[in-house]
Amino acid sequence: MIDVYILDLLVIALLLLIVTLGSGWISRLPLSFAMIYLMVGFFL
């Protein structure tokens, strides 16, 4: 069985990777990086 803590770390790592790779695209959106992190934090 996969631990929930490991899944949370995987989601956080994927989020950081996606934000880093898509920073140019994200900067054109009406969202800030903090809002994206906050939405993912509520989800977790």
Note the pLDDT of residue 13: 93
Q: Quick one: tokens of 37? A: 């992190």
pLDDT (tens, 9 = 90+) of the chain, 44 residues, equals 678 889 889 988 998 898 889 888 878 888 888 888 888 889 87
Note the pLDDT of residue 17: 92
Distance in angstroms (rounded) separating the CA atoms of residues 20 and 26: 9
The secondary structure of 12-30 as a DSSP string is HHHHHHHHHHTHHHHHTSS
Note the pLDDT of residue 29: 81
Note the pLDDT of residue 44: 76
Note the pLDDT of residue 14: 92
